[in-house]
Amino acid sequence: MDRRFSIKEIALFFAQLIKQILQSVLFPALYYFFCIGRKVNDKLVLLADMHSEQRPYSLKLIHDALIDAGFQIQEHYIENKKSTIIQIAKFAAVFMYSYAVARYVFICDYFLPVVSCKKRKETTVVQLWHASGILKKFGYDSAEDIPESFGIFAAKDAAKTRLRRALVRRVLYRGNLFKNYSLVTVSSPECVTYYESAMRLHKGICVPIGIARTDCLFNQYYVHSCKEKLLCKYPQLANKKIALWVPTFRGNVKQAYTAGVEDIIKLNLQEDWCLVVKQHPHAPRAAGLFQPEMDASEIFPAADVLITDYSTILFEFSLLGKPIILFLPDGDQYEQRRGIYIPLNEIPAPVVYTREELAGAIENAQSNYSPERWESFRQKYMSSCDGNTVQRILERVCAVNPGVKPPQSSFLIEEAAASKVFYG
Q: Could you report the per-residue pLDDT of 189-199, keeping only the tens digit for each? A: 999 999 999 99
Which of 187, 194, 189, 192 has its CA nearest to residue 206? 192
Phi and psi at 327, nearest 5°, equal: -110, 115
Contact 133, 314 (CB under 8 A): yes
Beta carbons within 8 Å of 238's beta carbon, 6+ residues apart: 231
Question: Given pLDDT bands bounded at 50, 70 and 90, which one contains residue 406?
Answer: very low
193 Cα distance to chain centroid: 18
* pLDDT tens-digit readout, 339-361: 999 999 999 999 999 999 999 99
Beta bridge partners of 136: 340
Calculate ∠ Cα 226-227-228, nearest 5°. 90
Give me the amino acid identity at 321: G
Compute φ and ψ for 417, nearest 5 degrees: -65, -30
Which domains does the chain carry? 7-214+387-423 (3.40.50), 223-381 (3.40.50.12580)
Per-residue pLDDT tens digits for 302-314 = 999 999 999 999 9
pTM: 0.85
Single out the residue of 320, 319, 329, 376 nearest to residue 348, CA to CA. Answer: 376
The whole-angstrom separation of Cα 323 and Cα 351 is: 12
Region label for 160, one of left (φ > 0), alpha (ψ between -120 and 50) or beta (otherwise): alpha
Distance of CA 246 to the CA centre of its chain: 13
The pLDDT score that the predictor gives to residue 158 is 52
* CA neighbor of 62 nearest in space, from 391, 401, 312: 391
**Mean pLDDT comparison of 74-88, 314-328, 398-412, highest-scoring range:** 314-328
Question: What are the helix (H) ranges across 177-304?
Answer: 192-199, 220-233, 261-265, 296-299
Residue 257 has pLDDT above 90, yes or no: no
- Cα–Cα nearest to 179, from 104, 93, 133, 113: 113
Helix, strand counts (H, E) of the chain: 18, 12
Contact 300, 231 (CB under 8 A): no
When pLDDT is averaged across residues 413-423 and rounded to a whole number, the result is 42
- As a three-state string, the secondary structure of 19-82 is HHHHHHHHHHHHHHHHHCCCCCEEEEEEEEECEECCCCHHHHHHHHHHHHCCCEEEEEEEEHHH
**From CA 317, how far away is CA 215, in angstroms rounded?**
12
pLDDT for position 234: 95
For 174-193, the pLDDT digits (tens) are: 567 899 999 999 999 999 99
The whole-number pLDDT of residue 173 equals 52
